[in-house]
Chains A and B, each alone.
Chain A
Amino acid sequence: MREVDRRGKYNRRIFLQGAATALPAAAIAANTGIGIEDAWADDATSLRPATLKTLVKVARDIYPHDFLVDSYYVTAVKPWDGKAAKDPAVKALLEEGVRRLDQDAQDRHKVAYAQVPWEADRVVLLQGIEQTDFFKKVRSDLVVSLYNQEELWPKFGYEGSSAEHGGYIKRGFNDIDWLPKV
C-alpha cells in the first residue's frame, strides 16, 4: 500500500521572517519541536506581542499535536493581528480575552498563562473560559486556520488536491493490502 511521506515537501522551509537566523537548520530539519523565535510577534501592528505569543500557546493547547512545530500555530494565529487592525471590536475581544486568561493564571499559579508549566493546568484554565465569546471565536477560527494549511497535511497522511495528478486511479485508490479476504 502506498504510504504518504509524513515529512511533506516543506520540512526545510522556514515560514517566518527572522526565524531562519535564530535557529540551527539541523534542529528544524529534525522537527524536534523547538519553539520558533518570537521576532515575528514584534512585527505586530495592532495586538500586543505578548498577546500574540499567548494566543499561540492557547492555540496549541486547544489543538495539541506534539509532532507539529510552533510555526504552524503561529501561521494560524498571525492573521488575528490584521483582523484586529481592521476592527476595534476584534482587538478588544482578543486583548481582553488574553488579559482575563492571564489573570486566571496569576490567581491560580502566580504566573501568566504562557508560563504555566503543565498543559493539564492550562487546559483547566481554558475550560474555565470555554463559554466565552473569546474562546469560541478563537477555536472556531483555529479549526480552519490550523488544519487548512497545505504544508501540514502530509503530517496527517492527507494528500490534498488530486485532479492535477490524474486522481487516485493510478495512485493507490484501492491498494489496501491488510484486510481479511471477503
Chain B
Amino acid sequence: MAKFDQNDDGVVVIVGSGAGGGTLGNELAQKGVKVVILEAGPRTEIQDFINNEWESFTQLAWTDMRTTSGSWRVARDFANLPAWIVKSVGGSTVHWAGASLRFDEHEFRIRSTYGNVPGANLIDWPITLTEMEPWYAKAEDKMGVTRTNNIPGLPGNNNFKVMEAGAKKLGYKEVHTGRMAINSEPRDGRGSCQQIGFCFQGCKSGAKWSTLYTEIPKGEATGNLEVRPNSMALKIEHDASGKVTGVVYADEAGKTQRQKARIVAVAGNSIESPRLLLNSASSMFPDGLANSSGQVGRNYMRHMTGSVYAVFDKSVHMYRGTTMAGIIRDEARHDPSRGFMGGYEMETLSLGLPFMAAFLNPGAWGRPFTAAMEGYPRMAGVAGRRGYAAGDQPRHARPESQGQVRLAGRQRAL
C-alpha cells in the first residue's frame, strides 16, 4: 500500500473519496500518477455495514452541525440535518440507490429551453449530450449499469410489481426496473444482487457499485494511490503566482497537517467542496478559490423528491429487495403545458419501519398516524424525483423563503 511523504510535492491531492474523488484517484493511479486522497470520514468496509437504519445512519452519515432555513419543509422538521450524505471512504456511493440516469438533451441547456424563470438562476452547460455520450458509456461500463453493456435488468420486487401494475393500468409505457449500478449477474469481481433491501445502509453483497470496493482497491493495487481516512481538509494553499502548493488538513487526532501537492482536485460533495474553496480565501483570492464568478456556494443542487406510500388491502412487504430498482420514465420529458419546467421520474422507494415512523409524516402523532403505521406490511412506495433542482431555487427572493444550508458551530481556527 502506498504511503507518500507529506513533503512530496509530486503527488496529486484529491479531497474526497466518493464518486468523483475515488474514480479520479484510480484513473490517475492506473496511469502511474501518485495520488493522495484525503477523506474526512473513517474507512468503513462492507463487513462493517449494518442492516439497521438508525445504527447505519450513525455509522455513515455526515452529522457535523449544520443549519438550514427558508420555507422548505426540511427547515421545519430537520433544521440541523438538511442533507443526508456520507462521511466515510467511498462517500455517498456507499449509500446511494444506484440509479444511473443520463441527463436528457434539454437538461444541458435549461436556460435556453426553459427561458427566463423568475427567481431562478439558470444557465446552459458549456457542453452537449453528444459530447458527453462517450463518457456516459465509459461510466456505465465501469459501474455495470443494468440495461447497458448487455447487462440484464434486475428482477422486479414486490414494491416494483405494485408500481408496474398501476403504471400499466394508467397507460404508461416506459416502465421497468431501471438503469441501476447494481449487478444483476456477477461482474467485475463482484457478486449479483441478493435483494437484501438495505441499499441505503451500504451494500453488504457488493453488488452495488461503490468506489469503496471498486475504484479505490484497484487504485491502491497499483501502488500509486494512498487513501488517508479521518483527514478533514481545512484549506488549500497556493504560492505567489496563484498555483496550489498543498492542502492543510486535520488528522484523526485533530492535529493540523499539510500535504504538499502538484495539483489539487476538490471532490467533497455539494456542501463541503464550496466550503473548502471559500475557506481557502487569501489576499490574492479574497472570495475563495475558483470563485471569480461569485457563484461558489450558491445554486445548491439536490434531488427534489416527493414520496408517497399507499396502503393496500393485502401484503406487499415492500422492504424486501432493492430500495429503488423501478422507474416510470413517461413523464421525464420537458412539457410546459403541464404547468412546470422540465420533467420527472417516478421511482420505487421503500423505508424500513423505523425510518417510516420518522419520515412518513415528520412530527405527526396520534391515531391518524398510528393507523397509517399499522398498514406498514401493506404499503408500497413511490418517489417522484426531479433530476436536479438548481434552477428552481429562489435566488433573490425574501430571505425567509430562500432555501439555504448553513454550516454552523465551531469552525476550526487556522
Q: Which stretch of A10-18, A110-118, A152-160 is in the interface?
A: A152-160
Q: Return the CB mask of A154-182 against B: 1 if under 8 Å, else 0.
A: 00111111111011110111111011101
Q: For the complex, what is the distance from the CA of A124 to the CA of B155, rounded to whole Å?
A: 49
* Residue A1 interfacial (CB < 8 Å): yes
Question: Across the interface, which residues of A come within 8 angstroms of B316, CB to CB?
Answer: 176
Q: B50 to nearest A CB, angstroms?
A: 8
Are B195 and A144 in contact (CB-based, < 8 A)? no
Asked whether A29 is an interface residue with its Cβ less than 8 Å from the other chain, the reply is no
Residues of the A chain whose Cβ atoms lie less than 8 Å from the Cβ of B194:
163, 166-169
Would you give the shortest CB distance from A146 to chain B, in whole angstroms? Answer: 8
Identity of the chain A residue whose Cβ is nearest the Cβ of B202 in the assembled complex:
A163
Do the beta carbons of A162 and B366 come within 8 Å of each other? no
In the complex, the chain A residue whose C-beta lies closest to that of B160 is A174
Tell whether, in the assembled complex, residue A163 and residue B315 are in contact, meaning their CB atoms are under 8 Å apart: no
Smallest Cβ-Cβ distance to B77: which chain A residue:
A140
The reply to whether the CB of A39 lies closer than 8 angstroms to some CB of chain B is no
Q: How large is the interface on B (under 10, 10 to 19, 20 to 34, 35 or more residues)?
A: 35 or more
Q: Are B51 and A162 in contact (CB-based, < 8 A)?
A: yes
Interface SS of chain B: loop
Q: B72 interface residue, CB < 8 Å from A?
A: no
Cα-based distance from A102 to B9 in the complex (angstroms)? 69
From the candidates A146, A157, A162, name the one contacting B376 in the complex (CB within 8 A): A157
Within 8 A of A (CB), among B193-209: 193-198, 204-205
Residue of A nearest to B367 (CB): A64
CB proximity of A136 to chain B, nearest CB, Å: 8
Contacts of A166 in B (CB 8 A): 194
Judge whether B365 and A157 touch: CB under 8 Å: no
In the complex, the answer to whether B352 meets A174 with C-beta atoms within 8 Å is no
A123: contacting residue among B353, B354, B366, B376, CB under 8 A: B366
Q: Does B105 contact A (CB under 8 A)?
A: no
| A45 interfacial contact with B, CB 8 Å | no
B248 close to chain A: CB less than 8 A: no
Q: Are B317 and A157 touching (Cβ within 8 A)?
A: yes
B98-130 contact mask (Cβ, 8 Å, vs A): 1 or 0: 000000000000000000000000000000000
Known A-B contacts A156-B374, A173-B320; the reply to A168 vs B195 at CB < 8 A is yes
Q: A144-B54, A162-B198, A167-B205 are in contact. Are A156 and B168 (CB under 8 A)?
A: no
Mark out the residues of chain A between 1 and 29 whose CB falls within 8 Å of any chain B CB in the assembled complex. 1-4
Whether A174 and B358, one on each chain, are in contact in the complex, defined by CB atoms closer than 8 angstroms, is no
> Could you tell me the distance in whole angstroms from the C-beta of A160 to the nearest C-beta in chain B?
7
Given contacts A123-B366, A176-B158, contact A161 B193 (CB under 8 A): no
Q: Are A171 and B315 in contact (CB under 8 A)?
A: no
* Set of chain A residues within 8 Å of B320, measured between Cβ atoms: 159, 162, 168, 171-174
Q: How far is the CA of A82 from the CA of B92 in the complex (A)?
A: 35
With A4-B377, A156-B376, A157-B317 as given contacts, are A174 and B161 in contact (CB-CB < 8 Å)? yes
B52 interface residue per 8 A CB criterion = yes
Given A143-B357, A156-B377, A157-B376, verify A163-B370 contact (CB < 8 Å). Answer: no
Say yes or no for B321: interface residue by CB 8 A criterion. yes
B195 interface neighbour in A64, A65, A169, Cβ under 8 Å: A169
Q: Is A36 part of the contact surface with B, judged by Cβ < 8 Å?
A: no
Judge if B165 is at the interface, Cβ distance under 8 Å: yes
Assess the B157–A63 pair: CB atoms within 8 A.
no
B155 and A158 contacting across the interface, CB-CB below 8 Å:
no
Q: Are A174 and B376 in contact (CB under 8 A)?
A: no
Q: Interface code B350-393, partner A: CB below 8 Å = 1, 0 otherwise?
A: 00111011100001011101100110111000000000000000
**CB of B255 within 8 A of chain A?**
no
Report the minimal beta-carbon distance from B73 to chain A, rounded to whole angstroms.
15
Chain A residues with Cβ under 8 A from B358's Cβ?
A: 143-144, 147
24 A-B pairs in the complex with CB atoms less than 8 angstroms apart: A1-B315, A4-B317, A63-B370, A143-B357, A144-B54, A147-B354, A147-B358, A158-B352, A158-B377, A160-B51, A161-B50, A161-B51, A161-B52, A163-B51, A163-B198, A166-B194, A167-B193, A168-B197, A168-B320, A174-B161, A174-B320, A176-B158, A176-B161, A180-B165
Other A-B pairs, 4, CB within 8 Å; known A163-B49, A176-B315:
A158-B352, A159-B320, A163-B51, A169-B195
Closest 10 CB pairs of A and B: A157-B377, A167-B194, A161-B51, A173-B321, A167-B196, A147-B357, A163-B204, A173-B195, A158-B353, A168-B320
